[in-house]
Structures are given as C-alpha cells and as structure tokens.
Amino acid sequence: MKPWKSISGCAALITLMGSTAALADVTAQEVWADWNSYLTGFGYQISAQQNTSGDTLTVTDFTATTTLPEDGGSVTLTLASLEFTDRGDGTVAVSMAQHNPVIMDITPKDGKPVHMELDYFQTGLSMIVSGTADEMTYASTASEMGIELKDLTVDGTKADAVSALLTGRDFLGNYVSRVGNLRSMESNSSFGSVEYKISVADPEGKGSFDISGMLEDLKTTAAGAFPMAMDFQDLGSALKAGFSANGNVTYGQGSSDFSANDNGKITSGSSSSTGGSLEFALDENHLMYGATNQNAEMTFSSPDIPFPSLTIKMAETVAKLMLPVSKSDTPQDFGFTIKLVDFALPEEVWSIADPTGTLPHDPATVILDLAGKAKLFFDILDPKAQEEMQGQAPGEVDELKLNALEVKVAGADLTGNGAFTLDNNDLETFGGVPKPIGSINLKLVGGNALLDKLVQMGLLPEDQAMGFRMMTGMFAKPGDGDDVLVSTIEFTEDGQVLANGQRLK
C-alpha cells in the first residue's frame, strides 16, 4: 500500500489536467491556489513562478516533487507554463503546453537506481473551471491525451531498446472538487478509444518482446474523500481520518497482439473480447476489487506446443473480492466470487486427451460465490499493527454462506448452495476447527456416466470407480431424472453430521 503516495499524487495533477463544469463565480487566482492545495495535500512540494497580466495568471517553471517511501527516490512533474484566464463570466480557462515531462528517480535500497522520463501530452485540450473557491468543476475535452516513455536509464546505462506509448482519443470529462473538513472529489470521463504499445529488446540482441492493443468506449467514474494533508505511507491513519475512494471502469470491444523472440524462438499470440469492467472501493470498513470480461478469445503459437496454433475461448469471467480492513468487535461483511463460464478448449487439445471422442467436449464452467461475516483482530492496513500481529490469526469467521457452486465439465454438472454459522468458542468438536452449524445442498447430474467413460478410456480403474460409487451412496440419494444424485449435509448444534437425515457423526 505504501507506493500509493507516488501513484495517487502523480495521478492527482494529471486528473486536473484532463478533467470536467457548473455555474458560479471563480477566479484565476483561486483555481491556481486550489491546484497548490490539492498537490501539497498529497505530499508534493511545489515550485513555480507566477505573473498576472490583465485577466491572465501565468505560471512558469512549475515543478511538483514528492519522495518515494523508504528513501526510494523521487517523482517530479514539470510544466513549462500554465495559464489561468478569467473569462469574464465567472469561469476560468486553463491552458498548458502540449508536452509536459514527468521525471521519476527510483533508488531502491536493494537494486539498481532507475531514472525514467515520461511525456504527458495532449492535443486540443479545452478546460473550463467554474463554481466557487470551495467547490470547483472542471469541464474538459481533448482530441488526444497520452503518456510516452522518453528515457529509461538503469544504473547509469541508457535503455534505448525500450519504448512505451499510451494514447487516448476523443476525451470528455467532468471533475468536481469540494473543500471542507475533507476534500471530496467526483469525476466521470470517457475515451472513444485507447491504444497502447510496448516494446522491449535485449541490448545484447538475444531477444525481444512487443505487445500492442486497443480498447473502445472506455468510461470511468470515481469518487473519494481525502484528508487535507494525507500520508499514503500511513494508510490506516488516513482511513481513520476519513479517507475513502471508489471507482468503476467499463470498456467495449478490445484486442491485443504480442510477440516474443527468445534467441530466435518466436512465440506470438492475440486476444480479443467484447467488453468488461473493473471496480474498486476502499474505506475504513472494507476493501473491494472486481473485474469482469465478456467473450474473451486467445490465440497463440509457439515451437513449444505440438500445434501450429491454439485458440481458447471464454464466454464470461468474473472475479470479485470484498474484505473488512478494520478491527471490530462486531462481524463485518466479506465476499469472494469467481466465475469461468463456458471455457472452451480447442479440439487440438481434446485430440490428445480424448482421441476417441468418448467424452463430451462441451465448454466447462466453474462458479463459486461465497459471502459471510467476520471479525478482525487488528487493522490490516496499519503497518504497526501488521508487525505486532505477525504470525497470529488476523481474525475469525462467524458466518459463511455458499450462494452458488457449479462445476460443469465433460458432461457432468455439480451444483450447490448452503449456509453456516461458526461457533469459534468450540474448537474441540471438529478437532481444532470452529464448530459449524447449518447445511449444504448438493446436486450431481451425469456423474455416473462420466465415471463409466473414464473407466472406458482407461483413465480410472474399475475398482476405484466402484469405491467412488459406494462413497456417494453414503452421502447422496437418487434425485428426479436419470443419473441425478442429491444430498443435504447438515451440521447440528449438538455436533452431529447428517447426510439426508442419516447420521454420519
């Protein structure tokens, strides 16, 4: 979490450069003062010359510098000039040079020093600020915005064979900043398209790596509240002081291509999808990440595989995690979800695994959706608390709910759901594990048919298949339809375990 200081601070000014306005009365001097307050609040030191002529405040020789955690170096953002012009209607126009350098000097304690120069560039940027000194709205448009790597030097040696370029086109944004006890911010923006290209070559000529790609219809929304002076090296204290942030990114069709050369051995591939999303939230109570992707398709070729190329498809992928982050005497919500829907292997792979076509080659699906409540014994984002609690359990789970379970592969389909409470005061009934109280419902369709086919293929000995059938007979009973097994496993308050009403423990 410590690198957030440099990441968020550097993003802070770039956000201002490309943000979006309302009606009210604000002056050029107030906008410039807000920029200063904004960046110094993120721990940046500001240096600049300013001059006012008529209705325009001109800022020259602008630098914003911050140090990285643990003596790791510094990050400097430089602007050749800024102009804040009162437009005569209570709004201010902000203009800047087309190219602006961002300089990073990283000096890790263990490792080689790195000097990096980036160019933040824009074409056709229009930025209008309106509102009041305590609430400003930035309305921005640009035909093009991006960042390009201009120089990379590692341990004094210039890395000429490394290039990186990120370009967004048809930008539209709206950004609102409010100042009170905290600084609160809301923003939304969109790009018609985003393209990227990265190229890395071994200076000795032994290999290279290239990747390029694009996304269409990129949209972002974000909101946050920040203490007026925030130290990202102490995120736990910042959260207690009111820091919070959340955001969402959605995108449409996308694609990428890559190629790697390892001493003449070429591996290449491409990917595409029809869209997806990313989401993030953090406050004093919880941390949440989430990602989705639709209709992904990946093709690659390599001399290490026995086929000219392979193509893998996935109709939907979902990954989401929510965790409590603060110590609490009352249970807090948590959750975990993963979905891999209609994962299709190419027939080239099936031809090796199942050359006779005995198994169904239908796409596979794996779904796991868990939720529950837990108590933390310490603030997990507090560095001091992390050190004090090292080697100890971070907390305990009080409730666990299986919202959904599905494993569908080779013609068999296992589904389930259930819910439990956990008695953390009873660690004896189940040998050191908190005693569960609740039940889980399971259903298996096509299980026996899959066993028969595995035996037929010689992948499973007949005696092991028989043993599995005997075991499922203890836990399951026939359901409605052919080759259907159902089971309800119960954990009672007095420590019994029942399978369909029959006592197992």
Where does a domain end: 159, 180, 214? 214
Q: Is the dihedral of CA 21, 24, 28, 29 positive or negative?
A: negative
Residue 383 within any structural domain of the chain = no
Residue 360 within any structural domain of the chain = no
**pLDDT mean across residues, the chain:** 90
Tell me the pTM. 0.86
Residue 281 within any structural domain of the chain = no
pLDDT of the residue at 2: 42
- Domain assignment of residue 484, given as a range: 421-505
Going by the DSSP 8-state scheme, the letter that residue 13 receives in this structure is H
Strands 157-158 and 182-201: unpaired
Which residues, 6+ apart, have CB-to-CB distance to 119 below 8 Å? 99, 100, 101, 102, 147, 148, 150
Residue 116 within any structural domain of the chain = yes
Read out DSSP for 186-241? Answer: EEEEEEEEEEEEEEEE-TTSSEEEEEEEEEEEEEEEEEEEEESS--GGGHHHHHHT
SS3 243: coil
**Triad 375, 235, 44: Cα angle to 5°:** 170
Residue 70 within any structural domain of the chain = yes
Strands 182-201 and 254-262: unpaired
pLDDT of the residue at 399: 97
In tens, the pLDDT along 414-460 reads: 999 999 999 999 999 998 899 999 999 999 999 999 999 999 988 88
Identify the H or E element spanning 444: strand 435-445
Residue 209 within any structural domain of the chain = yes
Identify the H or E element spanning 41: helix 28-41
CA dihedral 88, 92, 98, 99 (to 10 degrees): 150
Which residues, 6+ apart, have CB-to-CB distance to 431 below 8 Å? none
Could you read off the pLDDT tens digit of each residue along the chain, which spans 505 residues?
A: 444 444 444 454 445 554 443 344 899 999 999 999 888 888 889 999 999 999 999 999 888 888 877 777 788 888 878 999 999 999 999 999 999 888 888 887 777 888 999 999 999 999 999 999 999 999 999 999 999 999 999 988 898 899 999 999 999 999 999 998 899 999 999 999 999 999 999 887 789 999 999 999 999 999 999 888 777 667 878 888 899 999 999 999 999 999 999 988 999 999 999 999 999 999 998 999 999 999 999 999 999 888 889 999 999 999 999 999 999 889 999 999 999 999 999 988 888 888 888 999 999 999 999 999 999 998 888 877 777 777 788 899 999 999 999 999 999 999 999 999 999 999 999 988 999 999 999 999 999 999 999 999 888 899 998 988 888 888 899 999 999 999 999 999 999 999 998 888 8
Q: How far is CA 57 from the centre of its chain?
A: 40
Pair 124, 118: CB distance under 8 Å: no
**Beta-carbon count within 10 A of 21 CB:** 21
Residue 125 within any structural domain of the chain = yes
- 6: exposed, middle or buried (Cβ count in 10 Å: 0-12, 13-18, 19+): buried
Pair 44, 78: CB distance under 8 Å: no
Number of domains in the chain: 2
Residue 484 within any structural domain of the chain = yes
